[in-house]
Amino acid sequence: MQAGKLVLHESGMDLHDTLNKIHSLFANRAQQKDLHFTYTITPETPRYVLTDETRFLQVLSNLTSNAIKFTNEGEVSIHVDAEPLKKGQEYMLKVRVKDSGIGITDEDQKLLFTDFTQLDNSSTKTFGGTGLGLAISKQLTHLLGGDIGVESIPNDGSTFWFTIKVKKANSEEVEAQLQRMQLQNAEAEVLDFTPYVLLVDDNQINQKVAFKLLERLGCRTDVASNGYEAIDRALNNGYDMVFMDIQMPEMDGVTATSIIQEKLGNDSPPVVAMTAYSMREDAEKFMSQGMDDYISKPVKSSDLYKVIMRWHELNWKRDKAGGLTAAIDDDSEDDTIPVIDLAITEQLKEIGGAEFARQLYVEFEQEAGELLEEAKKELEAQQYKSILSTLHQLKGTGFTLGINQVAELAKILEHDIKHDQYDNVRSNFAKLLAQYENYRKTYKEIIL
């Protein structure tokens, strides 16, 4: 590939938002290997910058993917810093991806950024080559006015770094751009039914934006500004879904949710946590405290659409024992919900390229197959709690890749086992195996 064929599309970028996208994309893969995966941005680094976010993500996702792949224990960290240049508003953005993995020899380091290179040592044969991704990353960083390199000691980890030139952006302009994109997305996505939802948020601006997005999707929406209002409205109206802000004065969202679910019991609607970017790592904590799902703030139309459709298409219900079951006819299951959400596949391609996306789905086939084989043995021995970690991994990775039928069934099983509700476990696990097998047989044709 020649650099001249690469096209830049410069726009405003929220660095905190972008780093969170990378963290969210790879958190489950890191967790599966018990790696500590973090990112830091120095206070001196401007939050809003002008650059090509897609190209920036492509480079960073490639380096992050390799770091996790080549690290069996320890940690992977991303560090972002910026150095002001003489032109005032311009900065040299510096990104370092550090791992505690196998390391790279001096001889192999010289070959890393060459087209189609695959390092010919025993460690890399085990993990697979880095290859074309680094060569493209080198071209992209040069196109963005920077460079790329590596510091490594064999058996003592590696630090891949890259730099790009950026301009400091006006925060209001970037936020206005984000809002325009959200509203444009809302126009492209319209529900073919009218869910009745409750929006709970104490921030008036956030409330207005989310209300407008829900309205454009086709929702009938009520608004509450605190936990007490949310409880009052939820107990007196038959909502299909509640979008609940977590951090609110007087009463937080988790407490309000707990009271709503206690009062309404089996009639409680799904409650979706709305979590700030800085709180994404706490999402599973909220889920364990009673929230049924979550989306990130600032809220995006596409996320609202997906979470509403996810619950609507599966027609979830709470049975008399309090367990969650998916009311899907076995005969029509494959016809009503796609094996893979291709919108997510396209997003993954935008972030890291087609080969990067394809490899993620191949890895899911391998990892999920091994996890399910072990889970079958535990299930036969009635060691239900032992498969919770497997279900958690399948749920997280499945939703990340848009393999929603597998992820939803894993979510149902995880919920029921956590709450000692075993009546539907065997039948739902059989459905999970069938959905994985369906994925295994068809995914390569779908994503090509």
Q: What is the pLDDT of residues 210-229, one digit of tens each?
A: 898 898 888 999 999 999 99
Query: In the CATH hierarchy, which top-level class contains the domain 175-313?
Result: alpha beta
Q: Any bridge partners for residue 99, and if so which?
A: 76, 158
CA distance 52 to 164: 10
The confidence band for 282, taking pLDDT boundaries of 50, 70 and 90, is: low
User: What burial class does residue 378 get, using C-beta atoms within 10 Å of its C-beta: 0-12 exposed, 13-18 middle, 19+ buried?
Assistant: middle
**Which of 1.10.260.40, 3.40.50.300, 3.10.350.10, 1.20.120.160 is the CATH number of 333-447?**
1.20.120.160
Residue ranges of the domains in the chain?
A: 3-169, 175-313, 333-447
Taking 90 as the threshold, does the pLDDT of residue 42 lie above it? yes
Q: How far is CA 178 from CA 3, 300, 408, in A?
A: 29, 9, 30
Q: Any bridge partners for residue 41, and if so which?
A: 80
pLDDT at 390: 83
Q: Which long-range contacts (CB under 8 A, 24 or more apart) does 388-392 make?
A: 388/414, 388/417, 388/418, 391/417, 392/284
CATH number of the domain located at residue range(s) 3-169 in this protein: 3.30.565.10
Hey, is 34 helix, strand or coil? coil
CA distance 89 to 84: 8
The confidence band for 250, taking pLDDT boundaries of 50, 70 and 90, is: confident
Asked if 165 and 55 count as a contact pair (C-beta separation under 8 A), the reply is: no
CA distance 205 to 245: 13
Peptide bond into 195 cis (omega under 30): no
Query: Which one, of 307, 308, 275, lies nearest residue 289 by Cα?
Result: 275
pLDDT digits (tens, 9 = 90+) for 408-447: 888 889 888 888 888 888 888 998 999 999 999 888 888 7
The confidence band for 392, taking pLDDT boundaries of 50, 70 and 90, is: confident
Q: What is the mean pLDDT of residues 361-373?
A: 87
CA distance 191 to 197: 13
Q: How far is CA 46 from CA 57, 213, 435, in A?
A: 17, 29, 45
Give the chain's length. 448
Longest dimension (CA), the chain: 70
Q: How far is CA 367 from CA 227, 290, 416, in A?
A: 41, 28, 23
CA distance 411 to 256: 23
Asked if 146 and 81 count as a contact pair (C-beta separation under 8 A), the reply is: no
pLDDT digits (tens, 9 = 90+) for 103-137: 888 888 877 776 544 444 443 333 333 444 677 78
Strands (E), 85-177: 90-99, 147-152, 158-168
pLDDT at 59: 87
Please give the residue that has the higher pLDDT: either 69 or 257: 257
CB atoms within 10 A of CB 138: 20
